[in-house]
Every structure is written in C-alpha cells, then in structure tokens.
C-alpha cells in the first residue's frame, strides 16, 4: 500500500523504537571490544602479507648481492655488506630515522610512551633497509624488523579506524605478535614473546587480540610460503637420564655466552653513538667490511641471518671446534652490525650463536663422554633455546620456541633444565637485560618486564589484622551487643553478621546511644545496608577499591564465607604500602 | 551532549568504519594478489636454482669431486628443502667424502619421513656397516628387505640380503648369517653361479649340511663342474661323510689340486685305519684300535721332542697326554679290549685328546688327521 506524503512525514509510533532497538543491537554486537578483535584479524592478515613480502625481499637481496651459492665469492663477501652498508646508512639517517635498532624497544616505546603511535613510514623504512642490510650479509635477523613492521601496520590501521585511545595504545603489540609469528612461523612463541617481553602482563583483553592476529598472520604466511618448519630437525636422541647433566653444562655455558654477548653490545654501542654524525654514514659500511673479512678468512657462515648454517649444525656438518669458533665469530659480527646502527634484529643471530654453541658443547661431550651424550644435533637445538633464555631473557618463550620449531616434545626436559640455568646465571651476572640496556642508552625509561614479572604482589592477608572484637548478630539486642563488647573501645567499629544479606558494620558509639533509649532494639534496625567482604588471597588493590568510605571490611574464608578470618581498614592498607615502600627504597 | 547526538555520532562512526573495513577488504585482496605473484616468481626462481645446483652436484660427483658435490647439493637443498632426492644425493656425496656422521644425520632425516623406504634403509645399513654398528646393520638391512622398492624390488631385496650376509660372515656372526642364508636360499635361482655362491656362503658360515645340499643341487644341473665337486667334497669331508667326500673328490681328482689330494689321502687313511669300518671282524677292529693308539703315541712323542718345549701353553697339555698314553699303553692289547667293553671308548677318547692337543702345536699329516677324525666321528664316519 502506497503511503501518502503526510503519512511519510509522520513517524509511526513504533518506528523510533525500532530504530533505537536496531542501533542498540548493533552497538551491543559491534561493541569496541568485539571490533578490536575483528581488527586484530585484519592486522594479522596484513602483517602476514607484509612479512611474506619482506622475507622474499631479503632472499632476492641476497641473491642479487651475494649470489646463489651457499658460500659467496670472496669479492662479494667484502663488497656487498660494506657498499650496501653505505646505502642503508644514508637511508636511515636521511629518510627513515626511526628505523634504527631491532624494533622491539621501539614497539615498547609506542605502547608506553607514544600511545600506540608508530608512523607507517617506519614500516616502509624498516622493510627496505633491513632487507638490504640482511640480504647483503650483515649479521642480523628478520624477526625483530617483522615485529616492528607488524606493529606499524597495526598502528596505522588503528588510527585509520579511529580505535579508542586505550585500544590504540594496545594495538602495537597486537601487530608485533602478528609480524613475529609470520617471521618465525611459530604463533605460540610469538604470542608468548610479545606478552612476556613487550606487554609484560597477561590480561584477557590483549591476549585474545594477540592470539587472533598471530594466528591470522601465520595462516597467511603458511599459505604463501608453506608450512615447513624453520629448521629440519633430525630425530631427537636422549641416551639416558644422566644426559641431563650434559644439558645442564650447556645451560651454564650458554648463560656465560649470553652475558658476554650482551656486555659486548652494551659497551660498544655508546661510544659509537657518541662519534660525530658524519661517521654514522660510515659505521654500517665499516661493520660490513669487517664482517666481510671474517667471511673472507674462512667463516662465511657469519654473514646474514645464518639459518641455513644452523640447519647444517643440527645435522652434524661441522666439527665441535668449528662450531665453537662460529659461535664466537657470530657474537662479534652481530655486535658490529647492531652497534653500527644497521637496522635488523637479534633473534636470528641469537639462535645461530646458541645453535653453534650447543653443537660445540654436544660435540665436545660426545667426543669425550660418548656413553653420556646423544647426537650433537639435539644439543644444537637446545642451545638455541639456551641463548634465547639467557640473552633475550624470555624463559617461557625460549622453551616453547624450541618445542615449536622442532615439533618434538621429548626434548622438553633438557630444554627446561638448560634454559632455566642459562636464564638464572645470566640474570645473576647481568641484572639488566639487553633490551633495558639499549633503552637506557637511548635515554628512555620503559618499564622493565622482568621487574614487572617479579613484582611482589601485595595481598589482603599481608595487611589484614586478626579479629579484635566479637562479631555481632543482627538478631541480637543492643543490650546484649554492648554486654559482649564491654572490653572493646568506645570508638570501635563492630562487624555484624547479617546473613543471609551478608556482612554489615555499626559503631559502638551508636549502640550506646540507642541503648540509652531502648536497649531491647535489635541491632538489625541500626544497620545501613551491607558492606563487601574480602578474601585473604585477593590483591590489595582490590581492597583499596572496595573499602571506599567504609571504616573496616571483613575478610572471610573462601570455602566458608561465614568464617571470619580478619578485618582490614584503609589505614591497614596504607601502612603496608608505606612499609613496602620504605623497604624498596632501602634496597635500591 | 544528548542521547540523540551521541547516537548519531556513533552511527556515523560505525558507518565510516564499515566503509573503511570494505576498503581494507579490497586492499587485502589486492595485497593477496601482489603477494601471490611475488611468491610464485620467487618460488620458481628457487626451484630453478635448486635444479641448477643439483646438476652441478651430479657433475662433481661424476668427476670424483666429492667435497664440491657436497657443497653443491647443500646449496640445492637451501633452495628446495623439501626435496628428499637432493637430500639423498647429499648423503651419498657425504659418504663418498668420508663424512659419515653428517651423512647419517641426513639419512636419518629421510628415514623419519619414509621409514619404510627400501633404498633409504639400505643406505643406512651400508653406513652402519662402515661404522661397524652391528645393531644398526641388522635393523636397517631387515628394514630394507621388507621395505618398499619402486624399481625391481625382488632384485633389490636379494642384493640387500646378500650384502647383509657378507657383512655377517666378515664379522663371524655365523648364527645370524645362517638364518639369513636359509631365507635367501629359497629365492636363489637354479643357476650354477648363484648356487655356487650360496654354497660357499653356507660353508663360510660352517653350515656344512646346507652347503653340501646346495652343491648337490647344483651338481644335479651339471655334475661335471669341477669347482662344485671340490666344494661338495669339502663340505662332505667337514660333515664326516668321508665316503661321499671321497666320491666327489675322486671325480674331481686332479694332481694340480694339492688340497684335494690331501683330503683324499686322509680319507684313504681313515678307510685303512678306522676300527668302525663296515664288515670288520672284532679282532681286526681291536687291532686297529691298538694300531691307532700306537700311531697317536708316536706322533705325540715326535711332537714332544721337536716342538712342544717351544710352546709354553701347549707343553703342559701335551706332557700330560703323554703320561696318560704311557699309562694306558702298559695295559692296552687286543685281549684287554675284548675283556673290557669300555676300554675301546676310553682309548678312542684319549686318541682324540692327544691328536687335538698335538694339532695345536705340531702340523698333522694325512694319517694324523685321519686318526683325529676317526676318534672324533667314530661310528658316524660314513663308510
């Protein structure tokens, strides 16, 4: 039936309601949280595309500058990293100044300082300069740049879609996880690393988005580049339980190597940064030339990311002496590349150094204690995790990373033992992790993830005090209440068991005031609603929020809510914070 | 801001987001196409490089440049990591270059992917043989025998079994070798060269029964083959079937074969000396026992006088044998043999002990060997 103009201009009684319902439904369904999760998938997909192209760009760059042979010609080894170093330096200084460094700290800076802002230009610059540098033979890896590229894409998408300010801050780690997952082809490790090292805490809101983006990017990456693992792992061999001792030795050696590596970078970087600006155009070239010389004189394996040589080490291709030498030379080469300001990451070199070191330790032990040790390939695999735990200071990520790249769970016990020892030893010898060292050198103050992880959590039980006054019943009379609380000071606040409603409180002074008029009045009539109760294991922050204006709150047992275990007041909470503050101040 | 304007702003933002999402979808499609093209070109380039380097590796292997071949195949694998053929060729190049541990690592890798592949198991078996890993040899050769072969499986399996048998025989694993030979014998064709080889293997594994029956099987095809006759004669001789041995060795008799001549002499001596020969009277039987005993004693004396003092380990045994011989010699004669039914066995036991100990110290002639064999086989000596 056709409506007349008058009818058209008249709003039908239900129309406004219908429009309000549909908007409300849309708003409910498409709320910010859900929108953020959908956006995470897009971030993962776009980051996946970008990282696939990035990996291909690195390989093309390598083919062009170093040739197709596994061992480049001597002339290429000398010329490629040095000449391309000049080009990269010019690009970094003149065009893309924000692409220096690995990318991890830059992503953390976006999260904690710049409200999630990473210029998209950074992604482009990182893509170009890292592909050139790594492809030309600089001893750096593609994972950290992939992390930053993913973070930059996420930041750009978030700004484009006008995500809320809070979510915009969190969006960089979402992209970071996507970039890292695609680069590593290892979604679990990527998620763990970002949570462990970039975000520093677990929360449902960020976790879901990080997982979705990592999974999406890996799906894209595997669609184009296949799902084969980063390394071809031979059968893992564990000879006997006593072999754990051998892996423990690897953990200790790896911890020491991690500290050496970190200190070398930490000590060489500041003086190079202090040199005149014009030298920064030459530093990557000089670093490239030195790395080329290392290759020229017999160790071409240190050029580039080095994954192919890790594969060879896992397959017993080198003697243990050669493996040890390669580990040392790679530490030197990576230090030169990284401290010269060449864009690129430290993940791949860390795995290389760990793999070589593990192979060296395994080969040595196999030579002298053959009955105790299995194949050196297994040691190379564990060694990668050892360096990751000691140098990157990401112990959980290091364990899962080894499991994920090997696809073999039988290696888990040696990995856990070796990685833990490496981590603890590295921590004791070098309390500040490498990323914090770099941050301090850059003049930034970012939160320490390690400190955050080990922060002592204050709980209600730390501040509460035992029950000092009897608990009143809501059904008892004021007279009875006063009799029972005769010993209690006059200004005390008394807790009242007002079940089934809950707990409540009343001042003794108020009881006395009522008693003078009608002592048979029930306490229940004096109550002003219920008060929240707490549990001993709850965090003190929760108590601080719940206590609001209440003079005191009950602390009850979780298994028996009627069982009162103590009370807590605002002054109790503040006293504890002061005490902890003084102790922390005294320690530092 | 009132409710309506908040709702309007929200609607506006929602619509712009929807538009942007659509735009992102389109951009995603474009990026997918670009990435797809880049990836295809790149993968094709890698594939060509892999082929190029594998050809270089094959050429280097043909020219005997093993180390260069290793490097070339490693490069080929960089560009095509999933290619098991390249990995196999790399392993073979590594074996040729003497880098056995590295080769093993790659072969085990391949084995993980295809544990039932006959060829991979065979390569691992050969590698284990080079590394003297007996358990590995058995495991991988058996796996090769029951594995999957793409080309000519029967021949490949026979070849694998032969290699295993040769390895076991070289390392004196005769029990294992015999079991393999029995399995192998069912597949050996009725051709003289194959049967001769099989028989030799049985002989080497000290399975003289099967060796003899194999040679006889071959002789049924051609009974005039001298080598077969000789081998059959040897096998029968080792079984104590001297009559059969004599028949084969006679047929093969040739003055140019000293070993066969020696065997025949021994057999004739057995026939002349054995108290267990058919149709011997009791008296003749006992005479022969006494004669054997005397001959054994003479040999013993001769050995003691000429060689025994020089060999410290054998001297006490030989000396002890001599005193026992002297003791028994004082009572041994035909009458005592007739009177004491167990004396013959005791005498033959002592003869066996004497000749066994003498054999360790002094060379035995045909007659001495005959004494030893008579005492060893007794009634089992085939007449």
Q: What share of chain A is helix, strand, coil (3-state, %, to 5)?
A: 65, 5, 30
B24 vs A: CB within 8 A: yes
pLDDT tens track, chain A, 588 positions:
444 444 434 444 444 444 444 455 545 555 778 888 889 999 999 999 999 999 999 999 999 999 999 889 999 999 999 999 999 999 999 999 888 888 888 888 888 888 888 999 999 999 999 999 999 999 999 999 999 999 999 999 999 888 888 888 888 899 999 999 999 888 999 999 988 888 777 776 688 999 999 999 999 999 999 887 777 776 666 667 888 888 999 999 999 999 999 999 999 999 998 999 899 999 999 999 999 999 999 899 999 999 888 888 887 788 889 999 999 999 999 999 999 999 999 999 999 999 999 999 988 988 888 776 667 788 998 999 999 999 999 888 999 988 887 777 888 889 999 999 999 999 999 988 898 899 888 888 777 776 666 667 889 999 999 888 888 888 888 888 888 888 888 888 888 888 788 888 888 888 888 887 777 888 888 888 888 889 998 988 888 888 888 888 999 988 888 788 999 999 999 999 898 888 877 655
B37 vs A: CB within 8 A: no
A232 vs B: CB within 8 A: yes
Instruction: Say how many Å lie between the first and final Cα of chain B, rounded.
Output: 127
* Selection from A107, A104, A87, A105 nearest residue A96 by Cα: A87
Residues 6+ apart with CB under 8 A from A535: A460, A555, A556, A557, A558
Can you name the residues that pair with A522 across neighbouring β-strands? A477
Q: Are A391 and A350 in contact (CB under 8 A)?
A: yes
A303 vs B: CB within 8 A: no
CA–CA distance, A565 with A290 (Å, rounded to integer): 68
Burial of A245 (0-12, 13-18, 19+ CB in 10 A): middle
B14 vs A: CB within 8 A: yes
Residue A225 and residue B39: Cβ atoms within 8 Å?
yes
Q: Which of A317, A373, A379, A410 to mutate to test the interface with B (most CBs of B within 10 A)?
A: A317
> Where do the H-state alpha helices sit in chain B?
3-62, 66-79, 84-96, 100-113, 118-130, 134-145, 153-170, 174-185, 192-204, 208-221, 226-239, 242-251, 258-273, 282-306, 314-329, 334-339, 343-361, 366-377
Which of A42, A71, A224 lies closest to B24 in CB terms?
Answer: A42
CA–CA distance, A115 with A488 (Å, rounded to integer): 53
CA distance A72 to chain B (A): 11
pLDDT at A15: 43
Instruction: Decide: helix, strand or coil at residue A31.
Output: coil
Distance between alpha carbon B345 and the CA centroid of its chain, in Å? Answer: 40
Q: What is the DSSP string of A442-473?
A: TT--PPPHHHHHTPPPPBHHHH-B---SPPEE
pLDDT at A4: 45
Q: Are B118 and B153 in contact (CB under 8 A)?
A: yes
Which of A42, A53, A234 lies closest to B108 in CB terms?
Answer: A234
**Ramachandran assignment for A548, one of left (phi > 0), alpha (psi -120 to 50 degrees), beta (any other):** left
Can you name the residues that pair with A568 across neighbouring β-strands? A553
pLDDT at A196: 82
* Selection from A229, A251, A182 nearest residue A404 by Cα: A229
Residues 6+ apart with CB under 8 A from B301: B322
**Backbone torsions φ then ψ of A254, nearest 5 degrees:** -65, -40
Cis peptide before A500 (omega within 30 of 0): yes
Residue B78 and residue A234: Cβ atoms within 8 Å?
no
Count CA within 13 A, CB hemisphere, residue B28: 20
Name every chain A residue with its beta carbon within 8 A of the beta carbon of B11: 23
Residue A56 and residue B38: Cβ atoms within 8 Å?
yes
CA distance B244 to chain A (A): 53
Q: Are B120 and B110 in contact (CB under 8 A)?
A: yes
Residues 6+ apart with CB under 8 A from A497: A471, A472, A473, A474, A503, A562
Structure tokens at A537: 């294991």
pLDDT at A52: 96
Q: Are B73 and B89 in contact (CB under 8 A)?
A: yes
Residue A315 and residue B106: Cβ atoms within 8 Å?
yes
Q: Which of B5, B20, B25, B31 to mutate to test the interface with A (most CBs of A within 10 A)?
A: B31
CA–CA distance, A14 with A36 (Å, rounded to integer): 33
Which of A53, A234, A316 lies closest to B35 in CB terms?
Answer: A53
Name every chain A residue with its beta carbon within 8 A of the beta carbon of B13: 162
Q: Are A342 and A289 in contact (CB under 8 A)?
A: no
Residue A23 and residue B7: Cβ atoms within 8 Å?
yes
Instruction: Say how many Å lie between the first and final Cα of chain A, rounded.
Output: 82
Q: Are B106 and A317 in contact (CB under 8 A)?
A: no
Q: Are A54 and A146 in contact (CB under 8 A)?
A: yes
Residue A224 and residue B78: Cβ atoms within 8 Å?
no
**Closest chain A residue to B20 measured between Cα atoms?**
A161
**Closest chain A residue to B74 measured between Cα atoms?**
A70
Residue with tokens 């068991």: A497
CA distance B131 to chain A (A): 15
CA–CA distance, B40 with B234 (Å, rounded to integer): 70
Residues 6+ apart with CB under 8 A from B290: B332, B333, B334, B337
Which of B28, B36, B82 lies closest to A45 in CB terms?
Answer: B28
Residues 6+ apart with CB under 8 A from A210: A40, A173, A174, A177, A191, A194, A195, A199
Residue A162 and residue B11: Cβ atoms within 8 Å?
no
CA distance B28 to chain A (A): 7
Name every chain A residue with its beta carbon within 8 A of the beta carbon of B45: 63
Which of A52, A160, A162 lies closest to B13 in CB terms?
Answer: A162
Q: Are A238 and A374 in contact (CB under 8 A)?
A: yes
Residue with tokens 């390669």: A326
Angle at B317 between CA B313 and CA B318, to 5 degrees: 105
Q: Are A566 and A465 in contact (CB under 8 A)?
A: yes
User: Which residues of chain B are modeled with pLDDT < 50?
Assistant: 1, 383
A507: part of which helix (H) or strand (E)?
strand A503-507
CA–CA distance, A149 with B39 (Å, rounded to integer): 19
B104 vs A: CB within 8 A: yes
Complex-level ipTM beyond the 0.90 threshold: no
Can you name the residues that pair with A555 across neighbouring β-strands? A534, A566
Which of B17, B36, B71 lies closest to A70 in CB terms?
Answer: B71
**Backbone torsions φ then ψ of B186, nearest 5 degrees:** -70, -20
pTM of the entire predicted model: 0.75
CA distance B312 to chain A (A): 40
CA distance B65 to chain A (A): 17
Residue B24 and residue A157: Cβ atoms within 8 Å?
yes
* Selection from A163, A158, A173 nearest residue A120 by Cα: A158
Q: Which of residues 9-38 of A touch B (CB under 8 A)?
A: 20, 23, 26-27, 30, 35
Residues 6+ apart with CB under 8 A from B54: B72, B73, B76, B85, B86, B89
B39 vs A: CB within 8 A: yes
Name every chain A residue with its beta carbon within 8 A of the beta carbon of B71: 70-71
Structure tokens at A7: 């009818």
CA distance B107 to chain A (A): 9
Structure tokens at B131: 């590394």
Can you name the residues that pair with A506 across neighbouring β-strands? A494
How far are the Cα atoms of A35, A38, A207, A213 from residue A30, in angstroms, in the given order?
6, 10, 19, 18
Radius of gyration of chain B, Cα coordinates, nearest whole angstrom: 38
Residue A224 and residue B36: Cβ atoms within 8 Å?
yes
pLDDT at A224: 93
pLDDT at A387: 94
Radius of gyration of chain A, Cα coordinates, nearest whole angstrom: 31
Residue A162 and residue B17: Cβ atoms within 8 Å?
yes
Which of A70, A157, A161 lies closest to B75 in CB terms?
Answer: A70
How far are the Cα atoms of A114, A186, A366, A498, B261 from residue A387, in angstroms, in the given order?
31, 18, 21, 59, 76
CA–CA distance, A441 with A226 (Å, rounded to integer): 40
Residue B74 and residue A70: Cβ atoms within 8 Å?
yes
B28 vs A: CB within 8 A: yes
CA–CA distance, A409 with B124 (Å, rounded to integer): 25
B97 vs A: CB within 8 A: no
pLDDT at A586: 64
Can you name the residues that pair with A505 across neighbouring β-strands? A495
Residue A316 and residue B82: Cβ atoms within 8 Å?
no
The beta-carbon contacts of A480-487 under 8 Å, at least 24 apart in sequence, are A481/A511, A481/A523, A482/A508, A482/A511, A482/A512, A482/A515, A482/A519, A485/A511
How far are the Cα atoms of A99, A103, A337 from residue A96, in angstroms, in the given order?
6, 13, 18
CB atoms near residue B145 (< 10 Å): 21
Residue B28 and residue A234: Cβ atoms within 8 Å?
no
CA–CA distance, B109 with A234 (Å, rounded to integer): 5
* Selection from A419, A451, A420 nearest residue A435 by Cα: A451
CA–CA distance, B275 with B283 (Å, rounded to integer): 10
Q: Are B50 and B86 in contact (CB under 8 A)?
A: yes
pLDDT at B160: 92
pLDDT at B313: 56
Under DSSP, the state recorded for A97 is G
pLDDT at B2: 52
Residue B35 and residue A49: Cβ atoms within 8 Å?
yes
CA distance B50 to chain A (A): 10
Taking each helix axis from N to C terminus, what angle separates B282-306 and B343-361, rounded to the nearest 10 degrees?
30
A367 vs B: CB within 8 A: no
pLDDT at A8: 39
**Ramachandran assignment for A202, one of left (phi > 0), alpha (psi -120 to 50 degrees), beta (any other):** beta
């Amino acid at each position: 039936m056709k409506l007349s103009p008058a009818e058209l201009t008249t709003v039908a009684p239900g129309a406004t309601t219908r429009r309000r319902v549909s908007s409300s439904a849309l708003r409910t369904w498409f709320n910010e949280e859900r929108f953020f999760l959908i956006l995470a998938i897009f971030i993962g997909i776009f980051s996946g595309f970008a990282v696939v192209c990035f990996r291909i760009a690195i390989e093309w760059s390598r083919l062009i500058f170093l040739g197709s042979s596994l061992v480049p010609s001597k002339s290429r080894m000398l010329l490629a990293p040095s000449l391309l170093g000049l080009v990269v330096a010019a690009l970094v200084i003149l065009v893309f100044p924000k692409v220096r460094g690995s990318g991890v700290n830059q992503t953390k800076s976006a999260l904690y300082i710049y409200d999630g802002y990473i210029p998209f230009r950074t992604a482009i610059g990182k893509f170009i300069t890292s592909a050139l540098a790594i492809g030309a033979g600089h001893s750096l890896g593609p994972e950290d740049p992939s992390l930053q590229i993913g973070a930059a894409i996420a930041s750009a998408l978030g700004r484009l879609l006008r995500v809320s300010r809070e979510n915009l801050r969190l969006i960089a780690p979402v992209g970071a996880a996507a970039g890292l997952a695609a680069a590593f082809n290892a979604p679990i490790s990527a998620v763990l690393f970002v949570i462990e090292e970039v975000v520093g805490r677990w929360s449902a809101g960020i976790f879901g988005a990080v997982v979705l983006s990592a999974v999406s990017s890996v799906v894209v990456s595997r669609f184009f580049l296949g799902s084969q693992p980063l390394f071809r792992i031979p059968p893992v061999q564990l000879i006997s339980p006593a072999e754990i001792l051998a892996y423990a030795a690897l953990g200790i050696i790896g911890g020491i190597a991690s500290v050496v590596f970190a200190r070398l970078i930490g000590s060489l970087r500041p003086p190079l940064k202090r040199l005149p600006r014009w030298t920064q155009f030459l530093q990557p070239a000089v670093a490239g030339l030195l790395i080329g010389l290392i290759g020229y004189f017999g160790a071409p394996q240190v050029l580039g990311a080095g994954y192919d040589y890790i594969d060879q080490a896992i397959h017993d291709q080198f003697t243990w002496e050669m493996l040890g030498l390669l580990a040392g030379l790679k530490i030197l080469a990576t230090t030169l590349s990284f401290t010269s300001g060449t864009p690129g990451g430290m993940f791949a070199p860390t795995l290389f150094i760990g793999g070589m070191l593990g192979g060296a330790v395994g080969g040595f032990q196999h030579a002298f204690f053959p009955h105790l040790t299995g194949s050196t390939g297994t040691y190379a695999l564990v060694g990668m995790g050892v360096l990751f735990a000691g140098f990157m200071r990401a112990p959980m990520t290091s364990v899962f990373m080894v499991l994920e790249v090997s696809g073999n769970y039988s290696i888990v016990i040696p990995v856990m033992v070796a990685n833990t020892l490496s981590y603890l030893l590295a921590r004791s010898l070098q309390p500040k992790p490498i990323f914090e060292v770099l941050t301090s050198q850059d003049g930034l103050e970012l939160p320490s993830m390690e400190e955050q992880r080990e922060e002592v959590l204050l709980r209600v039980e730390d501040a509460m005090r035992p029950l000092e006054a009897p608990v009143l019943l809501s059904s008892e009379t004021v007279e009875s209440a006063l009799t029972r609380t005769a010993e209690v000071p006059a200004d005390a606040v008394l807790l009242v068991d007002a079940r089934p409603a809950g707990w409540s409180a009343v001042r003794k002074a108020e009881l006395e005031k009522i008693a003078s008029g009608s002592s048979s009045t029930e306490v229940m009539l004096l109550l002003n609603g219920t008060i929240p109760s707490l549990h001993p294991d709850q965090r003190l922050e929760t108590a601080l929020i719940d206590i609001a204006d209440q003079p005191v709150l009950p602390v009850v047992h979780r298994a028996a809510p009627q069982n009162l275990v103590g009370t807590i007041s605002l002054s109790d909470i503040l006293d504890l914070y002061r005490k902890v503050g003084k102790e922390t101040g005294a320690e530092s | 801001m009132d409710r309506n304007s908040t709702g309007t702003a929200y609607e506006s933002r929602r619509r712009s987001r929807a538009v942007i999402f659509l735009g992102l979808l389109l951009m995603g499609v474009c990026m997918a196409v670009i990435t797809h093209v880049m990836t295809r070109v790149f993968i094709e380039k890698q594939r060509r490089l892999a082929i190029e380097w594998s050809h270089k590796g094959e050429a280097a292997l043909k020219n005997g440049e093993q180390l260069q071949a290793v490097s070339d195949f490693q490069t080929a694998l960089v560009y095509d990591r999933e290619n098991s053929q390249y990995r196999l060729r790399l392993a073979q190049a590594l074996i040729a270059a003497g880098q056995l541990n590295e080769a093993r690592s790659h072969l085990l890798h391949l084995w993980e992917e295809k544990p039932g592949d006959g060829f991979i198991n065979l390569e691992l078996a050969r590698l284990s043989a080079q590394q003297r890993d007996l358990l590995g040899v058995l495991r991988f050769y058996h796996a090769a025998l029951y594995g999957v072969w793409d080309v000519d499986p029967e021949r490949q399996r026979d070849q694998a079994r032969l290699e295993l048998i040769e390895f076991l025989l070289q390392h004196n694993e005769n029990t294992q070798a015999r079991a393999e030979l029995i399995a192998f014998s069912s597949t050996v064709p009725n051709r003289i060269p194959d049967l001769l080889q099989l028989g030799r293997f049985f002989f080497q594994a000290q399975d003289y029964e099967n060796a003899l029956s194999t040679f006889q099987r071959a002789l049924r095809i051609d009974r005039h083959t001298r080598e077969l006759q000789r081998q059959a004669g040897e096998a029968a001789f080792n079984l104590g079937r001297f009559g059969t041995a004599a028949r084969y060795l006679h047929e093969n008799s040739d003055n140019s074969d000293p070993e066969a001549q020696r065997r025949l002499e021994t057999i004739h001596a057995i026939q002349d000396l054995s108290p267990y020969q058919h149709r011997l009277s009791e008296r003749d039987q006992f005479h022969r026992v006494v004669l054997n005993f005397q001959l054994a004693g003479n040999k013993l004396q001769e050995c003691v006088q000429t060689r025994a003092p020089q060999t410290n380990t054998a001297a006490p045994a030989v000396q002890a044998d001599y005193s026992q011989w002297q003791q028994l010699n004082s009572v041994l004669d035909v009458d005592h043999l007739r009177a004491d039914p167990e004396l013959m066995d005791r005498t033959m036991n002592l003869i066996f002990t004497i000749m066994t100990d003498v054999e360790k110290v002094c060379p035995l002639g045909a007659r001495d060997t005959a004494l030893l064999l008579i005492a060893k086989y007794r009634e089992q000596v085939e007449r």
